[in-house]
Amino acid sequence: MDSHSSIYVAGHRGLVGAAICRSLTKAGYTNILTQSHAELELTNQAAVQEYFADVQPEYVFLSAAKVGGIHANDTFPADFIRDNLLIQTNVIDAAYQNKAKKLLFLGSSCIYPRLCPQPMKEEYLLTGPLEITNEWYAIAKIAGIKMCQAYRKQYGFNAISLMPTNLYGPGDNFDLENSHVLPALMLKCHNAKKNGDAQMTVWGTGKALREFLHVDDLADASVFLMESCDDSEPVNIGSGREISIGDLAHLVANVVGFKGEIVFNTEMPDGTPRKLLDSSKLNTLGWHSHITLEQGLIQTYQWFLENQEIIRS
């Protein structure tokens, strides 16, 4: 890419897409193309083809997706597999058909088997059963990886796939029904503090281990790999650091200022016992994360406090 390349960011209003736009702008790229959901419905094949034929983007960041936590995945499995398959199929095919130079597809660490050896290497994909609570989303994302590989193999289309770990940051979805664990914990702590509650309840045992990456780190890695990587195999994007949900809950409470007791509802599911990506491939290419979890939580909570009018909660 050069500074004037036409770059389409699909899903620019989402957590990841917005961060990619920030990163591109910071890096000096001036021709960033975006379309809101109202302007372009990515599940509509004809609309996507028409947009690509009209705009002819040279580079595509495919960050648009239907996302959510355990509850959302378990409640709306058909929505998760259908919408994600439609979005990625339409965008990848339109990018190829309209001669885009390169496409970057964003997957998820949930593509790996539930009881995957840790840390999870890229080659562990499809070596065991998936976590049942989000298999619909995971299967769609695996299909996206394979579609990128198939279009490269059959057509020579330069499509790469990134597998980020659990993300958080400004613009996250703070919704107790549909959000991921970290923003849900932050909202719970905030509400408990505001209401003067003596206790706050967290799903599961608190023993599950998770790795978290600030979304600005992911965006920085995405731009780095769009500029430097042409590998057909997926690339893990992680921080290399993990924390138990229990310790995370106490860390979030400390950042938010909630002083009450944290109680764990052990009747609710933990999800995958442990999820830590092996990001050595990415590190070898020359990229490392730089935002610590505590720094990121402080920044994210500040954004939360400053954006109460627009926040999804």
Which residues contribute to the annotated binding site for NADP(+)?
11-17, 106-109, 141, 164-167, 180
Residue 101 CB-density burial (10 A; 0-12 exposed, 13-18 middle, 19+ buried): middle
* Cβ partners under 8 Å of residue 156, min gap 6: none
The residue with tokens 């095919």 is 93
* Pairing, β 242-244 against β 274-275: unpaired
Q: Where do we find the tokens 């106490």?
A: 250
Q: At what angle do helices 77-97 and 135-155 cross, to 10 degrees?
A: 20
How far apart CA 301 and CA 304 sit, in angstroms, is 5
Task: Quote the CA–CA distance of 61 and 19 in Å, as a whole number.
Answer: 11
Supply 241's token pair: 């650091």
**Residue positions forming the annotated binding site for substrate:** 188, 203, 210, 270
Tell me the C-alpha distance between 309 and 150, whole Å: 44
List beta partners, residue 309. none
Sort 224 into a burial class: Cβ within 10 Å, 0-12 / 13-18 / 19+: middle
189: left (phi over 0), alpha (psi -120 to 50) or beta: alpha
- The total of other beta-carbon atoms located within 10 Å of residue 136's CB is 22
Catalogue the active-site residues. 137
Eight-class DSSP state of 252: H
Annotated binding site: 11-17, 106-109, 141, 164-167, 180, 188, 203, 210, 270
